[in-house]
Structure 1
Amino acid sequence: MPGPKKLDPSSSPRALLGAELRHKREQANMTQDELGRPLFVSGSFIGQLEAGTRRMVPEIAQLIDQVLGTDGFFERNCEAGKSRYPDHFAEAAEAEAIATAIRSYAPALIPGLLQTAAYARAVCRAYQPTAPEEVIEELVAARMERTRLLADPTKPLMWAVLDEGALRRPVGGAAVMAESLWHVAGLVGRHRAIVQVLPFRAGAHPAMAGALKLMDFSDAPPLVYLESLGHGQLVDDPALVARYRLSYDLLGAAALSPKASLALITSVAEEYAHEDDA
């Protein structure tokens, strides 16, 4: 686990809260693991709170106040505001925004950070077929805001392994898919993302159960985000994180090389473009 970082309390309210948590924990002569036990969380989770990587929710804040005897300070100052992201993804989105490296495996669709607005709109509409148009547009706007992470020319490192099914499934129709795959190819061409395709012929692999995202940080332990329909889980247990990292490494080993993957992506994009012209 990385050593303690000297936090700048002026950088954000979350950094202030993290700095105060570290101060109060050390004042109580407790390690991160020792504070985590009565909260039923890991020491890594406490480290994420102190680094400002994870949001301190009211339920955790109340327990911290009880254990550290801080007279309701953390409950009064924790972030109780509503995120613009779905509840199951809110913490992951916030962590993603400050990650130094993001490695993502997508079994059925192009990952959110690589999506176009039209593709995101088709996905959101499929998830919520009866939602009002303004709800869909809010979801699309939030997703497009996330993609601004890749506007920075160097960080975070973005590495995605896409299942071939994500290329072949015509989300939104041929025109939307052509645009989406050209967009992915453009990110690769600008050296802004590393993308590999896991071909159908690779057969069984260690992430067949669903999507997988690993996030690394400069001053906090890594996280893994697992997602299924309407549900997401952030994993910080070091042993589990190491296991998922191995799974991701094995996916990359079984996938096409970045060069061959780019050739397949552009080839499928051209197929969609010709289909739309027909």
Structure 2
Amino acid sequence: MRWTANWMKPAALLLAGLLAACQSTQEGPAASSAPVASASVQTVSLPAVSYAPSTAVERGYSALVLDAASGEELYAVNADAARFPASLTKMMTLYLLFDAVSNGRYSLSTPLKVSANAASQPPAKIGLKAGSTITVEQAARALAVKSANDVAVAIAENLAGSEDAFARQMTQQARAMGLGRTRFVNATGLPEPAQVTTASDMAKLGLALKRHFPQYASYYRATSYSYGGRSFRATNNLLGKVPGVDGLKTGYIRLSGYNLVATANRGGKQLIVVVMGGESESARDEEVTRLIEAHF
């Protein structure tokens, strides 16, 4: 699989892609069959904010490969271009949840209350019921494996009182981590034109998540997750298929294309690979695999 520069398509596709931006962020097999304007550039004008570009955000190919041990950049294409994160957003949701456990505010067994708002989120989800609870550990695993939107909103509401307040905390944390081109406005990655990032920022976030909270590494390696008598397959298709891959997070909305932050370890060498704007789930996976093989 080779990526080409064929990212420009007729204006009709551009308009269709923008109208589709408000549709769901379902990942995994269901997302694979969703119609996507192939290799198109879709542009949305952002409101001026202090944390993110005030210029247009494009749907397009971005890629970055870092040596995870040293942070050395090994490969980059459009790594600082503004992109929509989709469910890569949930890496920051997890980061703040793990931080709350680390500082003693929560334990892994703490129950999180599920509101009607959280339960009503669109797929991908695990089917939480309003009025029920889910433990912090169950919630973290649901995000890492299934990328569940209902769980992400439940986490946000419990930690900050509302998703809006939690998103402000997410952006504050991003700034503290030096993610200067990232702004969050929700905990899920569901379509929102003001929620933007870059491949470079997502690589840094992935590294921070694994370095600061190594005790949860097994969550990202899991190929399935069970809850409420149901089993959910991991959205990261490379787990168990590409030698050395041990995480981290997928993302998809129509406006962003198919995104993946992947970590891999072979013979003591560690990589973090980011691909954003994939034309399809399989194309994204093939490109991440190509970059992994090229840099080991």
TM over 0.5: no
Structure possessing the higher radius of gyration over alpha carbons: 1
Normalised TM-score (structure 2): 0.28
Higher relative contact order (CA 8 A, sep 6+): 2
Higher strand share: 2
- Name the TM-score, length of structure 1 as normaliser: 0.29
